[in-house]
Amino acid sequence: METRIRHDGPARDWAEGYPIGNGRLAAMVLGAVKRERLALNHEWLWKGHGRRRDVWDAADRLPEVRKLILAGDTNAGTRLANAVFGSGRERGDGTSCRVDPFQTAGDLYLDLVHGAHSHYRRELDLESGIARTVFLTRPNRNQQGHVVREAMVHLTHNLLLLHVAVEEGIPVTGAVSLDRLFSPDCDLQREIKGDQVVLRGRIRDGGVAFVVRARVFTDGGALCAEGNTRLGFIEARSALVALNMGVDVFDRDPEAEAFVPDLDAAAWNALRDEHVAAHRKALATVTLSLGLPAPDAPTDRRLERVRAGESDPALAGLYFNYGRYLFHASSARGEVPATLQGKWCDELHPAWDSDMHHDINLEMNYWLAEPCAMPDATDALFRHVERCVPHGREAARRLYGCRGIYLPIQTDPWGRCTPESQKWAVWIGAAAWLAQHFWTHYEYSLDETFLRDRAYPIFKEVAAFYEDYLIEDEQGRLQIVPSQSPENAFAGTDPDLPVSICVSSTSDVMLAWDALTRAIDAAEILNVDSDKREQWRRMRDALPPLRIGGDGRLLEWNHEVGEREPGHRHISHLIGFFPGDQITRDGTPELFEAARKSLDARAAAQDSNAPGGDTGWCLAWYACCYAHYGDGDRALEILTRLFTKYTTASLLDLHPPRIFQIDGNLGGAMAVVEMLLQSQQEVLRLLPALPAAWPAGRVTGLRARGGYTVDITWDAGRLVTATIHAACDRSCRIRDPGHALGVTAADGAPVRSQHAGHCLLFEARAGTRYSVA
């Protein structure tokens, strides 16, 4: 199993660094020789000016907007909708966007005194969560030694730790300092006090205050203050920098949060082992071996070779493990969900504010949580949605005159639901899409307490919005107006309008269908709200049907129109296929084929560099969809394009021109899962999209809907055996159209089973392991 990213030289820029983190604290380790830099982040360090922003009253304008859109006047309707529901002109404050930007906390620097260096190497060990830099140095003519620096965000101590020593026992001398990019609206104070280096900041005009505190512990040697900015250490056997941060959110005391306890530099090995044990416990739940020889080359060189046309099918296995690592590092102990950049940002004005985008990016970040056995890390996502509920109710009422909740297309961690993305903001599908994750968590865990206390209240809020927002047409269909297919526009829309506001886009219909279905299913399981269940069924059944165009493609809008951008990055009209389950091979075969044609057409347009915005996360979504169709070779081809076109030397995903976005990493990892195991509607599909390039291998610990854990071994491109562990009593269904599989118990005894249609069925018992071959 490949678990190391490695290089023969330092990072050339921030995006080539190694990310470490635990959800609350994060750092990017750049690996420079003389002056190591760790770019620091705290999950709550956002500018803070937008914490109390509010919505405006616009509901009385909704009939006017609807009249234009229903009359087919797309351009006038879109302009008015943008002005009314997503524009500072209507607010009267002239602002364009009040979403807070995620902020760098500053940089930790470690300057070392040493001679010439050679034999440099750095690596990120995904199994241990440690970034390691090693190089050979000659402090004088008679000595040489290997300088070893290791950095981690300690999972149990909740601290960032940086340790430096020379393997051969040569003393080390250096200095530690903290700094931050200059910002005219942030007041900084620096202090050296004893063994502490402290950086305090306060963003003016009501922004947040924060504290970054580093303590320096040495094994031998001495400490020496160098002014009020640097703390030196002299002739130490080793040095340990322990860093913590605090932000004054929710009446928290940043000084108290940034507390650093006494540590012993000589006890580094014990600290290290404690962290490694906790990290491995979290990530060892899933293992993947593709049975392929990994090239003995640094990661950047492997990427160069693949870009030059060489084959490296094992690279997808490393990318999968990296995706799991990044998800854990950005979510494990977090209260804020992974943003566009996870928890890593070295700017004051990052692209798109490094915010939470609700129209694919945040959702994609959390697709792998359940199947990759990290369900606890989804809590940050659920908290985010729950924080949005109070203001989401206010936004639904004031903007659209509806009960329930409205969530915007983009936001920050403060739970504010104001539409801020002008020209893109008029979209009501975010709450429904995020609610899907609550249902997914229940599907994998079958935790009825979670369903009752956290999921069902969200489903009811989303359903209540649709109860008021949907309007009945002359045929008795319930239409969604205004509606959009996120970030896309059809031909005939004015060029200065990036989005077409319309009637019942396919994606909005799919999201409404999904939200109402989950509310119905949850109410049935919990045996509550029988009257609501019937109302929601009537609403769901009255939604517009999904339509197929004259060319056989699934329509993206409610009528057949030309595409302004045939290669558009979003494929929102496939939400009901993946990640949803409204469109399936057996249940809706015509729509299944139509969706495939839509995917093929969009992908072909991107292959030919048609306008629309090819991105890393877009390719990850395509790869997931192709895997979900069972086309593993095409999925791997697209993943390889992601590696070669939108990946830094350290395998971080990119959005053009060179902006790190974590969604491509996490979505790409999910594509690998989809190649190996699928479980929509609790039908297990074993090796549903195995690429020919992976003829033999083994994966363990993947989770499936219905409370199952699955290990799979394959050889010569065929299943050898699958071990299924049931967490509860359940009727287990495995897709087996050839009726070739059978089931035995752990002791080899046959288990009563039967084939029905395309599935093998047997009754699984809680705590029991079954072998399928």
DSSP of 285-296: TSEEE---PPPS
Structure token pair of residue 224: 């020496």
Chain centroid offset of residue 425 CA? 21
Question: What φ, ψ does residue 242 adopt, rounded to 5°?
Answer: -115, 125
Structure token pair of residue 161: 């730790």
| Closest C-alpha among 248, 245, 244 to residue 202 | 248
pLDDT of 503: 98
Please give the Cα distance from 283 to 276 (Å, whole number).
Answer: 10
C-beta separation of 333 from 689 below 8 A: no
* 320-338: pLDDT as tens digits: 999 999 999 999 999 999 9
Structure token pair of residue 184: 């005219």
- Rounded-to-10 torsion of CA 448, 454, 456, 460: 170
Span 89-101, average pLDDT: 65
Question: What φ, ψ does residue 610 adopt, rounded to 5°?
Answer: -65, 155
Please give the Cα distance from 602 to 565 (Å, whole number).
Answer: 9
Across the beta sheet with 35-42, the strand order is 18-21, 25-29, 35-42, 106-113, 172-179, 230-236, 222-226
Mean pLDDT of the chain, nearest integer: 95
Check pLDDT > 50 for residue 90. no
Q: Prior bond to 691 cis, omega within 30? A: no
Nearest 5°: the CA angle 456, 460, 462 is 115
* 158-170: pLDDT as tens digits: 999 999 999 888 9
Span 180-192, average pLDDT: 96
Check pLDDT > 60 for residue 95. no
Q: Which amino acid, residue 59?
A: A
**Residue 274 vs residues 277, 299, 320, 705: alpha-carbon distances, Å:** 5, 28, 25, 33
pLDDT of 93: 45
**Which residues lie below 8 Å from residue 20, measured CB to CB, with a gap of 6+?**
26, 27, 28, 29, 124, 129, 130, 131, 151, 152, 153, 160, 329
**Which residues lie below 8 Å from residue 599, measured CB to CB, with a gap of 6+?**
571, 574, 622, 625, 626, 629
Residue 584 class from Cβ within 10 Å (0-12 exposed, 13-18 middle, 19+ buried)?
middle
Residue 35 forms beta bridges with which residues? 111
**Which residues lie below 8 Å from residue 720, measured CB to CB, with a gap of 6+?**
713, 714, 773
pLDDT of 88: 47
Question: What φ, ψ does residue 134 adopt, rounded to 5°?
Answer: -135, 135
Number of Cβ within a 10 Å radius of residue 48: 23
**pLDDT higher for 608 or 574?**
574
Rg (CA), the chain: 27
Residue 142 class from Cβ within 10 Å (0-12 exposed, 13-18 middle, 19+ buried)?
exposed
pLDDT of 228: 86
First to last CA, the chain: 24
pLDDT of 91: 41
Structure token pair of residue 771: 């072998």
* 271-328: pLDDT as tens digits: 999 999 999 999 999 999 999 988 999 999 999 999 999 999 999 999 999 999 999 9
Structure token pair of residue 18: 């190694």
* 11-55: pLDDT as tens digits: 999 999 999 999 999 999 999 999 999 999 999 999 999 999 999
Residue keyed to tokens 């526009």: 489
| Closest C-alpha among 674, 696, 693 to residue 685 | 674
Check pLDDT > 50 for residue 249. yes
pLDDT of 612: 64
Please report how the helices 62-70 and 74-85 are oriented relative to each other, as an axis angle in degrees rounded to 10: 160
Residue 215 forms beta bridges with which residues? 196, 242
Span 618-631, average pLDDT: 97
pLDDT of 94: 45
| Closest C-alpha among 336, 27, 16 to residue 161 | 27
pLDDT of 97: 84
Structure token pair of residue 233: 């250490």
Query: Residue 560: in which H helix or E strand, if any?
Result: none
Please give the Cα distance from 151 to 132 (Å, whole number).
Answer: 7
C-beta separation of 85 from 426 below 8 A: yes
Check pLDDT > 90 for residue 92. no
pLDDT of 227: 87
| Closest C-alpha among 486, 439, 440, 435 to residue 464 | 435
| Closest C-alpha among 24, 19, 52, 56 to residue 38 | 19
Please give the Cα distance from 710 to 83 (Å, whole number).
Answer: 51
Residue keyed to tokens 């690279």: 315
In the DSSP assignment, the letter for residue 422 is T
* 214-239: pLDDT as tens digits: 999 999 999 999 988 999 999 999 99
**Residue 692 vs residues 631, 714, 737: alpha-carbon distances, Å:** 10, 12, 20
Residue 338 class from Cβ within 10 Å (0-12 exposed, 13-18 middle, 19+ buried)?
buried
| Closest C-alpha among 683, 684, 760, 686 to residue 719 | 686
Residue keyed to tokens 């364009």: 96
Nearest 5°: the CA angle 765, 769, 773 is 115
Looking only at the bridges linking them, the beta strands covering 730-735 and 683-686 are parallel
Number of Cβ within a 10 Å radius of residue 769: 14
Question: What φ, ψ does residue 385 adopt, rounded to 5°?
Answer: -65, -45
| Closest C-alpha among 328, 330, 298 to residue 312 | 298
Residue 270 class from Cβ within 10 Å (0-12 exposed, 13-18 middle, 19+ buried)?
exposed
Q: Which amino acid, residue 132?
A: R
**SS3 at position 351:** helix
Please give the Cα distance from 677 to 706 (Å, whole number).
Answer: 13
C-beta separation of 667 from 617 below 8 A: yes
| Closest C-alpha among 389, 377, 381 to residue 415 | 389
DSSP string, 562-620: -BS-TT-S--GGGTTTTT--SS-TTT-HHHHHHHHHHHHHHHHHHHTT-SS---HHHHH
Nearest 5°: the CA angle 352, 356, 359 is 95
* 438-451: pLDDT as tens digits: 999 999 999 999 99
Please give the Cα distance from 290 to 693 (Å, whole number).
Answer: 9
Please give the Cα distance from 359 to 621 (Å, whole number).
Answer: 13
* 717-753: pLDDT as tens digits: 999 999 999 999 999 999 999 999 999 998 899 999 9
Check pLDDT > 60 for residue 578. yes
